[in-house]
Amino acid sequence: MNSIRCQPWHAGCAVCAVAGLLHGGCVSLPSSSFSGRIPPDPASEFQAASEPVPIRRPDAGRDEMHALPPAIMTNGPVALVDCIQIALERNPRTRATWQAARAEAARVGEGRAAYLPSLDIDAQAAHGEAISLDSDVEREAHDIYAVGLDVSLLLLDGGARRARVQSAEAGLLAADFRHNTTLQEVALAVEESYYERLGAKWLLTVADETAKRTQYQLEMARARHKAGMVTRADVLRAETQRAEAGLLQVQARNGMNIAQGRLARSMGLPVHTTFEISEVPAKVQRAELPRIEQLLDEAARHRPELKVALAGIEQRRAELTGARAASWPTLSATGSAGQRDTGLPPEREEWSVGLSLGYALFDGFERTHRRRRAHAELSRALAE
Helix runs in 28-79, H state only: 70-73
DSSP states of 130-155? EEESS-SS-EEEEEEEEEEEEEEEEE
Instruction: Specify the pLDDT at position 49.
Output: 53
Confidence of residue 137 (pLDDT cuts 50, 70, 90): low
220 HSE (CA, 13 A, CB side) = 8
Instruction: Specify the pLDDT at position 39.
Output: 47
pLDDT top residue among 200 and 310: 200
CA distance 248 to 242: 10
Instruction: Specify the pLDDT at position 15.
Output: 36
| Region 277-306 average pLDDT | 76
pLDDT top residue among 103 and 279: 103
Confidence of residue 23 (pLDDT cuts 50, 70, 90): very low
Instruction: Specify the pLDDT at position 65.
Output: 41
Confidence of residue 314 (pLDDT cuts 50, 70, 90): confident
CA distance 303 to 55: 36
Instruction: Specify the pLDDT at position 306.
Output: 82
Instruction: Specify the pLDDT at position 208.
Output: 94
CA distance 281 to 284: 6
81-129+137-276+303-383 domain in CATH 1.10.101.10?
A: no
Kindly provide the b/e burial profile for residues 22-35, where b requires at least 16 CB atoms within 10 angstroms of the residue's own CB: eeeeeeeeeeeeee
Question: Are 377 and 185 a contacting pair, CB within 8 Å?
Answer: no
Residue 116 neighbours by CB under 8 Å, 6+ apart: 153
Instruction: Specify the pLDDT at position 14.
Output: 38
pLDDT in tens, 161-193: 999 999 999 999 889 888 989 999 999 999 999
Q: Indicate the angle between helix axes 160-226 and 92-112, nearest 10 degrees.
A: 180
> Best-predicted range by mean pLDDT among 12-21, 52-61, 68-77, 308-317?
308-317
Domain boundary assignment for the chain: 81-129+137-276+303-383
Confidence of residue 195 (pLDDT cuts 50, 70, 90): very high
* Residues above pLDDT 90, as percent of the chain: 28
Residue 330 has pLDDT above 70, yes or no: yes
Residue 209 has pLDDT above 60, yes or no: yes
Question: Are 7 and 127 a contacting pair, CB within 8 Å?
Answer: yes
pLDDT top residue among 342 and 227: 227
Report the amino acid identity of residue 355: L
| Region 255-275 average pLDDT | 91
pLDDT in tens, 105-124: 999 999 999 999 999 998 88
| Region 356-384 average pLDDT | 85
Range with the lowest mean pLDDT among 47-51, 145-149, 352-356? 47-51
Residue 223 has pLDDT above 70, yes or no: yes
How does the average pLDDT of the chain come out, rounded? 79
* Residues above pLDDT 70, as percent of the chain: 78
Residue 273 neighbours by CB under 8 Å, 6+ apart: 68, 72, 264
Residue 216 has pLDDT above 90, yes or no: yes
CA distance 94 to 77: 25
Instruction: Specify the pLDDT at position 134.
Output: 65
Nearest of 283, 347, 374, 381 to residue 145 by alpha carbon? 347
Peptide bond before 304: cis, by omega within 30 degrees of 0? no
CA distance 220 to 242: 12
Residue 351 has pLDDT above 70, yes or no: yes
pLDDT top residue among 34 and 158: 158
pLDDT in tens, 39-76: 454 434 445 455 544 545 444 434 444 577 776 767 78
Residue 296 has pLDDT above 70, yes or no: yes
